[in-house]
């Protein structure tokens, strides 16, 4: 397979950085266009040793997915694969700034769809979140809308050969704003702040997420939402992984937060196919023959695999170099 030309929105984020490194190491990229609005993060990304040694393959474009004209110009580079990672993600911030979130996560997604179609991009893969499944917060609602825009782009593309798919996964271990970096900081304090003792979450590391996206790029045919089979953890077990005898202070859930997360709701069951390492959700109008039970749901509290405190401790040690604090 020849090296391809990649375009990554939100290209200076933690996931994008991991993906760029993997594309370089696997010699999959002829060219990588990093599209982001933060010139300082672009500068920091260039300082990475592997990236600095491969700057002949990487181009840095300043721009925002809200700005269609800039996005459209940047896409005039014979792009084979567009990976859309740009989004406003922090739940409390998105609750407080609703229309700013809509402008990035919804209008920005539509700009990506139209830019890809206008420039004949071959494949578009958008990153989603477990919060897009049966959403109760604005972030989840905007990402659900974004998912629909990408999947249903096939209904408006006419003779254009661009294909669109989505990847949906859970909490990234150690990502900015997640519990692990917070708990690691609180290890030196008198207590750990926990929102709710019953809380569970899905877990995936940055390298695992990047590898899953690369596999989806190879397998996508269009109109799929790919969902990896990943383990869950109990929030109290994360605390115990850091301190076996913790002093815990319950502070209550934040606005828009769930006790448990879902990646596939029972209403999706009739349009879901199960494979060995992942699920695929199809749009309901595809009329597929599902191979999961009617009423099936994939939720963090009913998962078949939970990480123990010892396993969580090992995960933290293994992937600590990818954490954003």
pLDDT of 197-223, one tens digit each? 999 999 999 999 999 999 999 999 999
Residue 167 to residue 161: CA distance in whole angstroms: 20
Residue 34 to residue 197: CA distance in whole angstroms: 40
Say what angle helices 235-242 and 309-319 make with each other, to 10 degrees: 70
Reply yes or no on whether the pLDDT at 1 is more than 70: no
Q: What is the pLDDT of residue 323?
A: 78
Q: What is the pLDDT of residue 243?
A: 94
What are 192's two structure tokens?
Answer: 């750990």
Q: What does the pLDDT average to over 13-35?
A: 96
Q: Are 215 and 28 in contact (CB under 8 A)?
A: no
The residue that leads in pLDDT, 170 or 305, is: 305
CATH at 161: 3.40.50.720
* 72-75 contact pairs (CB < 8 A, 24+): 72/114, 72/115, 72/118, 72/119, 74/7, 74/33, 74/35, 75/7, 75/115, 75/116, 75/118, 75/119, 75/121
Residue 49 to residue 10: CA distance in whole angstroms: 20
Domain membership flag for residue 119: yes
Residue 299 pairs with which residues in a beta bridge? 262
What are 34's two structure tokens?
Answer: 């990093």
Domain membership flag for residue 273: no
Q: What does the pLDDT average to over 87-100?
A: 94
Q: What does the pLDDT average to over 66-83?
A: 97
C-beta neighbour count of 125 within 10 angstroms: 22
Q: Are 46 and 60 in contact (CB under 8 A)?
A: yes
Summary mean pLDDT of the chain: 95
Reference 237, options 190, 192, 204, 175; nearest CA is: 192
Domain membership flag for residue 86: yes
C-beta neighbour count of 43 within 10 angstroms: 11
Q: What is the pLDDT of residue 318?
A: 92
The residue that leads in pLDDT, 180 or 216, is: 216
Which pTM does this prediction carry?
0.95
Active site amino acids: 131
Residue 202 to residue 228: CA distance in whole angstroms: 10
Q: What does the pLDDT average to over 178-204?
A: 92
- CA atoms within a 13 Å half-sphere pointing along the CA-CB vector of 281: 25
Q: What is the pLDDT of residue 256?
A: 83
Confidence of residue 188 (pLDDT cuts 50, 70, 90): confident
Q: What is the pLDDT of residue 137?
A: 95
Q: What is the pLDDT of residue 325?
A: 56
Q: What does the pLDDT average to over 275-302?
A: 95
Helix (H) or strand (E) holding 96: helix 91-96
Domain membership flag for residue 187: no
What are 185's two structure tokens?
Answer: 């900081």
Reply yes or no on whether the pLDDT at 316 is more than 90: yes
Residue 1 to residue 113: CA distance in whole angstroms: 26
Domain membership flag for residue 251: no
Reply yes or no on whether the pLDDT at 25 is more than 60: yes
C-beta neighbour count of 25 within 10 angstroms: 11
Q: What is the pLDDT of residue 322?
A: 81
Domain residues for 164? 4-172+203-228
Q: What does the pLDDT average to over 109-114?
A: 98
Residue 139 to residue 128: CA distance in whole angstroms: 10
Reply yes or no on whether the pLDDT at 83 is more than 70: yes
DSSP state for residue 103 in the 8-state scheme: I
The helix, strand and coil proportions of the chain, stated in percent and rounded to the nearest 5, come to 40, 20, 40
Helix (H, G, I), strand (E, B) or coil at 67: coil
Domain membership flag for residue 8: yes
Number of domains in the chain: 1
């Amino acid at each position: 397979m020849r090296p391809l030309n990649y375009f990554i929105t939100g290209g200076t984020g933690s996931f994008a950085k991991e993906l760029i490194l993997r594309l370089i190491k696997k010699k999959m990229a002829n060219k990588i266009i990093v599209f982001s609005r933060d010139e300082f993060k672009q500068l920091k990304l260039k300082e990475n040793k592997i990236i600095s040694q491969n700057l002949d393959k990487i181009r840095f474009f300043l721009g925002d997915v809200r700005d269609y004209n800039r996005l459209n110009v940047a896409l005039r580079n014979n792009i084979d694969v567009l990976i859309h990672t740009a989004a406003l993600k922090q739940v409390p911030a998105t609750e407080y700034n609703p229309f700013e979130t809509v402008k990035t996560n919804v209008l920005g997604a539509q700009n990506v769809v139209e830019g890809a179609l206008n420039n004949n991009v071959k494949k578009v893969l958008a990153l989603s979140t477990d919060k897009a499944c049966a959403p109760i917060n604005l972030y989840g609602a905007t990402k659900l809308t974004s998912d629909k825009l990408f999947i249903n782009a096939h209904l408006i593309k006419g003779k254009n050969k661009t294909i669109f798919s989505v990847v949906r996964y859970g909490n990234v271990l150690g990502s900015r704003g997640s519990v692990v970096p917070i708990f690691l900081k609180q290890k030196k304090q008198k207590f750990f702040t926990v929102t709710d003792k019953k809380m569970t979450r899905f877990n995936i590391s940055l390298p695992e997420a990047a590898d899953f996206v690369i596999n989806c790029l190879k397998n996508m045919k269009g109109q799929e939402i790919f969902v990896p089979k990943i383990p869950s953890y109990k929030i109290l077990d994360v605390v115990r992984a850091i301190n076996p005898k913790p002093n815990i202070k319950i502070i209550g859930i934040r606005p828009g937060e769930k006790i448990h997360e879902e990646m596939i709701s029972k209403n999706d069951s009739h349009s879901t196919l199960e494979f060995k390492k992942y699920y695929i959700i199809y749009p309901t109008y595809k009329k597929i023959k599902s191979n999961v039970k009617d009423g099936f749901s994939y939720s963090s509290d009913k998962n078949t695999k939970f990480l123990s405190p010892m396993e969580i401790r090992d995960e933290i040690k293994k992937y600590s170099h990818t954490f954003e604090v």
